[in-house]
């Protein structure tokens, strides 16, 4: 694991930054009501958002510390996000420092519109340069769409298998859950936020194009 994460424990500054991001995403309409969940890596485990909290009122007190496998710390009585296992699956990748999951209209519409294909293909967009390894618009990025499930153990296993199958090969720093929303991540919280904003814009372009074309 790189020293960027193994030697640095997210403290008040990092948690405050995540709170600011959560509130900003809510203001954009991408994390409505009590939906969505967010996390940032710690030296041992990660901090994740508490379940059932209105994101307009989200504060530092709504971040819970959990272990690497997503288990609650001893004595913790608050409810961590129901999707904590999905975050744990992503943190198994050493270069992931933050995970953002939203329920925006753009991501949710695309997750249903393109579900039969199992993927949203983003091609020919200048904004692809927001993702590492893309230096021209003449490129293609495939964002997988997985069926949603209430079985988090099964769903996290599916995501883990996808990550293993793409290890060593370029893959999208994000995926969609059908009828649910977007998961994206980055080496830092700032990078994760950049990916989220890029995906939101590109997904809006895709579903508007599909509407115009009568798909």
Which 3 state secondary structure label does DSSP give 169?
coil
pLDDT tens, position by position, 75-120: 888 888 889 999 999 999 989 999 999 999 999 999 999 999 999 9
Residue 169, pLDDT score: 54
pLDDT tens, position by position, 180-193: 999 999 999 999 99
Are the C-beta atoms of residues 207 and 110 closer than 8 Å to each other? yes
Rounded to two decimals, what is the model's pTM? 0.90
Non-local CB neighbours of 187 within 8 Å, separated by 6+ positions? 4, 95, 96, 97
Residue 79, pLDDT score: 85
Which 3 state secondary structure label does DSSP give 38?
strand
Assign domain 3-213 to its CATH superfamily: Class II aldolase/adducin N-terminal domain (3.40.225.10)
Annotated domain spans of the chain:
3-213
Which 3 state secondary structure label does DSSP give 212?
helix
């Amino acid at each position: 694991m790189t020293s960027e994460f193994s030697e640095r424990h997210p403290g008040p500054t990092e948690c405050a930054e995540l709170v600011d991001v959560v509130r900003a995403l809510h203001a954009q309409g991408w994390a409505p009501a009590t939906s969505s969940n967010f996390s940032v890596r710690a030296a041992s485990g990660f901090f994740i958002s508490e379940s059932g909290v209105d994101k307009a009122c989200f504060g530092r007190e709504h971040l819970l510390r959990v272990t690497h496998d997503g288990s609650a710390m001893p004595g913790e009585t608050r409810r961590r996000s129901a999707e904590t296992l999905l975050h744990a699956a992503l943190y198994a990748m050493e270069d992931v420092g933050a995970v953002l999951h939203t329920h925006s209209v753009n991501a949710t519409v695309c997750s249903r519109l393109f579900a039969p294909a199992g993927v949203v293909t983003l091609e020919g967009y200048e904004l692809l340069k927001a993702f590492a390894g893309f230096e021209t618009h003449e490129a293609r990025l495939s964002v997988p769409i997985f069926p949603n499930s209430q079985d988090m153990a099964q769903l996290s296993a599916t995501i883990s298998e996808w990550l293993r199958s793409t290890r060593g090969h370029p893959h999208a720093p994000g995926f969609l859950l059908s009828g649910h929303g977007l998961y994206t991540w980055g080496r830092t919280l700032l990078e994760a936020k950049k990916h989220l904003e890029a995906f939101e814009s590109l997904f809006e372009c895709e579903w508007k194009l599909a509407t115009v074309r009568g798909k």
